[in-house]
Structure 1
Amino acid sequence: MTDKTIGWTVRIIGVLAVILFLWSIQWFLPDFYSTMWRLTVEGDLDGLTDYIASFGYSAILVSVFMIVFANALAIPSIPFLTVNGVIFGLVPGIIISWIGEVLGIEVSFRLTRTLLRNQAKKVIQRSNKLEKLDSYSCIRTIMLGRAIPYSPNVVVTAFSALSHISYRDHFIANAIGKIPAVVVEVWFGHDLLRINEHWERLLVLTVIVVAIYGFLWWRKKQANKRRA
C-alpha cells in the first residue's frame, strides 16, 4: 500500500468518524441541531444563551463544538462568541471562545487544503484578490488577517489553504492572531447583552478599538504610499 493510498484511507476513516459523531448527537439529542439553527437564524441571543447554559457543566463542550462546527461549515461563529461571555463570565468566555475558534479554523484549514481546494479557489476569485495569494504563505499576513474582529474566517482560510504555508506556521499565526479578535468579539457581545449594566465600559471599549485599528489602518496606508 502506497503512502498516498494510506493517506486517503486515513482521511476517509476520519470523515466517517466525524459523520458518526455528528449522527450520535442527533440520536441522543434529536432537537439539538434544529434548536441551535432556529435560535441562530432568528438572532435570539437570549434564547441561545439559555439553551447552551441549560447543559450545565457540559455547556463548555457544547460551545466549543458549535464554534468548531460553524467554522468547519464556513458559517459565522459570532453568535456563539457573543453569548459566551454571559454564560461563562468574561475571561472564561474569552478563553473558551479562543479554543473553539483556533480548533475550528484548523479543522476548516485542513478540510479546505485536502478536500475543498476548488471551492477555495472560487472564494478567492469572488474576492478579486487572487494576486495576493502568495502573501498568505507568510505568518505575519495570516496573523493580521485573523486579528480583525468580525471578519469572515472563510476568506483567510481559503487563501491560507491554497498558499504554501506549513501546518505548523498556520497554527502559530491562527493561535496568536485570533487573540485580539476573540477578546473584542466576546467583550462586545457580553457588554451588548448586558448594556444596561456596562454601557459606559462598552463605550470606552468601542473608542479604544476604533482608535487602535484606525491607527493600524493609517500606518498600513502610509507604508503603501512610501512603497509606491
Structure 2
Amino acid sequence: MSLIETLSGQPVWLAVVISLTVSILIAMAGIIPSAFVTAANIVYFGFSLGLFLSILGEALGAVISFILYRKGLKKLGGKIDSVKAIKLLEKLKQTKGMEAFVLVLVLRLFPFAPSGLVTLAASYSTMGTWTFAVSSTIGKIPALLIEAYSVHTVLGWETEYQLAAASFAVAAGICYYYWTTMRKKRRK
C-alpha cells in the first residue's frame, strides 16, 4: 500500500479527492470490485470515516455512471434493434416511479447483482436521476457495511491468514470462471 504511505504526510483533503476519484472511475468501469478502495479508506481514514467515504464515493460514482450510460444509450438507441438481450432492457425501460425505485433498491441489496449492470439497466429505464441516486445509495449502504466490516476484520488477521484468504478467493474466482465457461460451451 505504497500510495497510502505516500499520502500519510499530505493534506487529508488530497486523500479524500483521490479516494472519491478512484471510486467514481471504478463505478464508471462497471466491472471492477470496489473492495480495494474500501480497504484503503479504512486503513487510511479509520473505520467510520473510511466507510462514509466509501458510501459517498460509490453514490457519486453510480450517479455519474447513470448519467453517462444514459447519454451513451441515447446515442446508440437508433443503432440497436434486434439483439435478444435488448428485449429485457425494453421491459426495464418502461419501469418508472416507485416500481423503479424499489427495483434498484432491491438489486443494490442483492449482493451478487453486478453494480454496473444495475446502473446500466436503470439508465435505460425512464426513472429520474434523483430517484436513482436515492434508491441506489440506500441499497448500497448495507452492502458497504458488510464489505467494510469484512475488510476491517481481515486487516486484523495475521499475514499468513490474509494470504490464505486471498489465495482462496483467487482460486474460487478461477474455478467460477472455468465453471461458467464450461457451462456456456455445453449449452452450444
Q: TM-score range by the shorter chain?
A: 0.5 to 0.7
2:23 — aligned with what? 67
Cα deviation, 1:114-165, whole Å, max 9, x if unaligned, reads 124549x7xx966995475257531011011122346421100111011111
Residue 193 (1) aligns with residue 172 (2): no
Query: Given that residues 30 and 117 in structure 2 are in contact (C-alpha distance below 8 angstroms), is that contact kept between their aligned partners in structure 1?
Result: no
Query: Given that residues 41 and 50 in structure 2 are in contact (C-alpha distance below 8 angstroms), is that contact kept between their aligned partners in structure 1?
Result: yes
Residue 106 (1) aligns with residue 63 (2): yes
1:133 — aligned with what? 92
Give the count of matched residue pairs.
151
1:177 & 1:90 partners in 2: Cα distance?
Answer: 20
1:180 Cα deviation from its structure 2 partner = 0.7
2:121 & 2:30 partners in 1: Cα distance?
Answer: 14
TM-score, normalising length: structure 1: 0.56
Change (3 A) 1:150 1:80: farther
2:146 & 2:7 partners in 1: Cα distance?
Answer: 21
- Corresponding residue to 1:93 among 50, 64, 75: 50
Paired residue type of 2:126 = H
Q: Percent identity?
A: 26
1:189 Cα deviation from its structure 2 partner = 1.5
1:168 Cα deviation from its structure 2 partner = 1.9
Secondary structure, aligned partner of 1:195: coil
Residue 82 (1) aligns with residue 39 (2): yes
TM-score, normalising length: structure 2: 0.66
Cα deviation, 1:44-93, whole Å, max 9, x if unaligned, reads xx445445556441212211111012212324233112221121111111
2:53 & 2:121 partners in 1: Cα distance?
Answer: 26
1:12 — aligned with what? none
Query: Given that residues 87 and 93 in structure 1 are in contact (C-alpha distance below 8 angstroms), is that contact kept between their aligned partners in structure 2?
Result: yes
| RMSD after superposition | 3.2
Query: Given that residues 150 and 181 in structure 1 are in contact (C-alpha distance below 8 angstroms), is that contact kept between their aligned partners in structure 2?
Result: no
2:143 — aligned with what? 181
Change (3 A) 1:166 1:63: same
* Worse overlay, 127-136 or 81-90: 127-136
Gaps of 5+ in 2: 162-188
Secondary structure, aligned partner of 1:115: helix
Relative CO higher for 1 or 2, CA cutoff 8 Å, sep ≥ 6? 2
